[in-house]
Structure 1
Amino acid sequence: MKKLFFSLAIIASIFTGCSEDDEPVKATPTPTPVGSGEITGNFAASKTYIKGNYSLKGMVQIPSGITVTFEPGSTITVASSSVGENGLIVLNGGKLIANGTSSEPIVFTHQSKTPGSWAGIIMYGDAPIVNSATAAAPQTATSEDGLGVIYGGSNATHNGGSLKYVRVEYAGQVITTNSKEHNGFSFYSVGSGTTLENLVSYKGNDDGFEFYGGTVSLKNSISYGNADDSFDWQDGWRGQANTNWFAYQTGVANYGVEVEAKSVDNAFWPIVTNITLKRAAGTTTESVSEVQIDAFQFKKQGNGDYSNIVIDGYNNYTTPAVNGGAVQVLDKATYDGQIVTGKVKLTNVKITNTANNFISGAITFSLTASSFVPAANWGPAATATGATLTAGAWANVDGLNLLTNL
């Protein structure tokens, strides 16, 4: 009898344990946070912006010792009502961490969707620059963006942060030509400790990317529809690990790549592999004073080592009269100092829909294939493939796939 009672008690406890009231409560999924708010003034402390939609107002500065982070998928917009200059500035010693992904890029844009509406991203460092043939190192200079920031130094590994899968749209604001102008991305003496990968400069009113000296390298990036040059540099920029550059010039544009060195005959040069430079039919020059359109333009002792290059669409125009070419050397000094001495290398080059392989900017010399020393420094090749980039949201603007013409 005791055994029977004990068994019934166990069975009763089992049924009691399975009552509806004792069912485990399922946890409610935590929603993905969506940030918002205005970014203005100068940062006084490090800050992380969670994924969200933010507005940017004024020339916002990240000072030395401060790190500002944006999470993937964030969009930062300058409102049309925000007059004057607006931009994001990383001062030497400050850091910007903007690591998006292919599917969730970080986008900096302007509400008006008008080229030249804001100043873009500007970063300063203290990596080496060379802008004088006589001054001792380390050399410095004053920025040409009107902010009067001194850049340059001896810190080759300067680290201004990490930018991956970042797109800047409708920047390139020009206040005063050559003394107060901005690009999509402006890098003043930025060092090799900085990461620049999978960046897009879209429809700016000046250069897509400009380097003012420094040692930083740019990888897997797009300059699309910018009104001046797609890629540009000066002050002895010497990035050594650049690869997969794609420029598509459409509407209004000048040069695919403008190379200059402030008339200093440097013993070093930048290295860029896997380059595609394309110009859409009907693309005009920025100014009537521009009488040539070049995929590469070398001037003021600019040099470099470039390989696996695709050039397409640099044709002549009759109204106005403009010469098109794959390579132009603008001045005799650059021809003598860089081409003849073997400091310009263009190898594995495929040229299509382009009127001239070579243009001489000065009437005192003629640039030809035999000008390159050694002869291997000029290497046409029908098998060149140019840039290789992977499609994704990072390369898509308002339904336009920027890689369609790659």
Structure 2
Amino acid sequence: MTDLNTGDTSGTIIVEFEGTTAGGGSVELTVNDAEGNSDDITVVLTVEAEATTVTVSSNITGTVTWETGKTYILAGRITVLDGAVLNIEKGVVVKGQAGTGANATALLVARGGTLNAAGEAEMPIIFTSIADEISPEDIAAGNFASPNLASDVSGLWGGVIILGKAKISTKNKTSGAQLSEVQIDGIPTSDTNGLYGGSDDEDNSGTITYISIRHGGSNIGSGNEINGLTLGGVGSGTTISNVEVVANQDDGIEFFGGTVSVTNAVVWNINDDGIDTDQAWNGKLENFVVIAPNTAEAHCFELDGPEGTYINGNHTITKGTVVATVGDRKATDLINVDNNTNATLSNIFITGISADQDINRTESDDTDVTFLTTFTGIELDIPAGSSLADYVSGNVPAGITAASTPSTGVGADLSAFAWTWASTSTEWPGN
């Protein structure tokens, strides 16, 4: 309030008012002078409700927080720029607008950017399409399934792409020279925020936990779609756990080099590979479920070898449960590897196997290449009356055996996934 002095015949009085709930209100002001004269005025105020739906049309700079109870609409490819931090609180819903090609919507974390997505089992963060009617109120009430989109509807927006500065193994296709950085699939080369790779294997892109990515994989041209979760050159300083990918047009999770590890991951209703690794990824995927990837070229695992001279040991995929076929949906291969794939696979139980599915390679067919992939505790629930050799191309190593139920220590700890939409499905292992 601005003070008035004795004798003043005019002045300004400021009354500050803070509304706590939406609606109308009024403030009445009465002024008395020394001679007993008075006058009053009533001002009607309208307190508007805080917006709970926020459209995001600009890249993220500085430090930005997306708040619990709100829905954020991605109006395009939104990038967390180098040096910026995006904090996403529990229970937030992020929806991508429709778009294809260069206009495909996605959340992209550029090298040097940080994403802290802090969901919880009781309040996960949902990344989905604008066509999905799910709301923060649904999440708060414990209803995590889409109220209107079926669990196999895909390609409605892009996905989540995280890029880092860790080493990758790739080369110039013309000269054959080793490259330290390249452009990620799905991002036009005109956008330099799509570059990934470097020399910092301990690079930190943030902390991501309890997120569900749904209905994504927009086509960006020539049959090239965006993965549910893309990890390009992401370093070991990044923490990623409790991730669900549902109904993506392309791969569920794809690693392009880097050293990041992921624990507790679910991939369900994917139209390409469940788990895809490339460019000498050197991290670990531990405790996971893959359910029936489904296209003519889909694999439960598509594990490619180094593209350049850099290798630096194997990546590890361990403690997983795979359902290879559900009804008429099935993967082409169980495990697809190259002659030079650098992978260590262990304690994986694969069930729902169809007659024409197999592990495509257990040794190199190129005498000039050292076969780097190892198999330990890989158990196949093969159809009755068939032979294990029918589901392994080539020699069957000691680490691959037949089993109708998983042995102790083999397969995923399914209790870690009670929060997921996938776990409520009849296709879930054990349901």
| TM-score bucket of the superposed structures, by smaller chain | 0.7 to 0.9
Residue of structure 1 in register with 2:135 after alignment: none
User: Structure 2 regions of 5+ residues with no counterpart?
Assistant: 1-19, 22-49, 132-148
SS at match of 2:414: coil
Shift, 1:116, TM fit: 1.2
What CA distance in whole angstroms lies between the structure 2 residues aligned with 1:313 and 1:360? 12
Residue of structure 1 in register with 2:180 after alignment: 139
Decide whether aligned partners of structure 1 residues 225 and 304 sit closer, same or farther in structure 2, where only a CA change above 3 A counts: same
Question: What are the equivalent positions in structure 2 for 1:311-322 lying under 5 Å apart?
Answer: 311-316=350-355
What CA distance in whole angstroms lies between the structure 2 residues aligned with 1:93 and 1:237? 19
Shift, 1:209, TM fit: 0.1
Letter matched to residue 376 of structure 2: T
> Is the counterpart of residue 232 in structure 1 residue 259 in structure 2?
no
Question: What are the equivalent positions in structure 2 for 1:68-87 lying under 5 Å apart?
Answer: 68-80=86-98, 84-87=103-106
Residue of structure 2 in register with 1:349 after alignment: 378
Contact 1:166 1:198 in 2 (8 A): yes
Residue of structure 2 in register with 1:307 after alignment: 346
Deviation by residue 1:231-277 (Cα, 9 ceiling, x = unmatched) = 001111110x4210110116547111110024557351101220111
Residue of structure 2 in register with 1:105 after alignment: 124
User: Structure 1 regions of 5+ residues with no counterpart?
Assistant: 1-28, 286-291, 317-322
Residue of structure 1 in register with 2:285 after alignment: 242
Contact 1:224 1:402 in 2 (8 A): no
Deviation by residue 1:1-24 (Cα, 9 ceiling, x = unmatched) = xxxxxxxxxxxxxxxxxxxxxxxx
What CA distance in whole angstroms lies between the structure 2 residues aligned with 1:192 and 1:252? 32
Question: What are the equivalent positions in structure 2 for 1:47-62 lying under 5 Å apart?
Answer: 47-51=64-68, 52-62=70-80
Decide whether aligned partners of structure 1 residues 306 and 36 sit closer, same or farther in structure 2, where only a CA change above 3 A counts: same
Letter matched to residue 156 of structure 1: D
Shift, 1:333, TM fit: 4.8
Contact 2:55 2:73 in 1 (8 A): yes
Question: What are the equivalent positions in structure 2 for 1:1-400 lying under 5 Å apart?
Answer: 35-51=52-68, 52-80=70-98, 84-112=103-131, 113=149, 114-132=153-171, 139-148=180-189, 149-177=194-222, 180-239=224-283, 241-249=284-292, 252=295, 254-263=298-307, 266=311, 268-284=313-329, 293-299=332-338, 301-316=340-355, 323-325=356-358, 327-329=359-361, 333=365, 337-339=369-371, 343-353=372-382, 357=388, 367-369=394-396, 372=397, 377-378=399-400, 383=407, 385-390=410-415, 394-396=419-421, 400=425
Shift, 1:135, TM fit: 6.8
Letter matched to residue 111 of structure 1: I
Decide whether aligned partners of structure 1 residues 349 and 336 sit closer, same or farther in structure 2, where only a CA change above 3 A counts: farther
Shift, 1:186, TM fit: 0.5
Decide whether aligned partners of structure 1 residues 301 and 48 sit closer, same or farther in structure 2, where only a CA change above 3 A counts: same
* Count of matched residue positions in the alignment of Structure 1 and Structure 2: 350
TM-score (norm 2): 0.72
Contact 1:348 1:380 in 2 (8 A): no
Letter matched to residue 139 of structure 1: S
RMSD across aligned positions (CA): 3.3
Letter matched to residue 41 of structure 1: S
What CA distance in whole angstroms lies between the structure 2 residues aligned with 1:264 and 1:380? 36
Decide whether aligned partners of structure 1 residues 135 and 250 sit closer, same or farther in structure 2, where only a CA change above 3 A counts: closer
Q: Identity percentage over the alignment? A: 25
Decide whether aligned partners of structure 1 residues 98 and 403 sit closer, same or farther in structure 2, where only a CA change above 3 A counts: farther
Contact 1:131 1:261 in 2 (8 A): no
What CA distance in whole angstroms lies between the structure 2 residues aligned with 1:358 and 1:301? 22
Residue of structure 2 in register with 1:319 after alignment: none
What CA distance in whole angstroms lies between the structure 1 residues aligned with 2:391 and 2:306? 19
Contact 2:380 2:400 in 1 (8 A): no
What CA distance in whole angstroms lies between the structure 1 residues aligned with 2:367 and 2:394? 8
Contact 2:264 2:288 in 1 (8 A): yes
SS at match of 1:257: strand
Letter matched to residue 218 of structure 2: Q
What CA distance in whole angstroms lies between the structure 2 residues aligned with 1:338 and 1:283? 37
Contact 2:292 2:323 in 1 (8 A): yes
What CA distance in whole angstroms lies between the structure 1 residues aligned with 2:130 and 2:104? 14
Residue of structure 1 in register with 2:134 after alignment: none
What CA distance in whole angstroms lies between the structure 2 residues aligned with 1:192 and 1:35? 35
Shift, 1:399, TM fit: 6.0
What CA distance in whole angstroms lies between the structure 1 residues aligned with 2:286 and 2:245? 16
Deviation by residue 1:74-119 (Cα, 9 ceiling, x = unmatched) = 1111245899310100000000110101110000001334301211
Contact 1:78 1:86 in 2 (8 A): yes
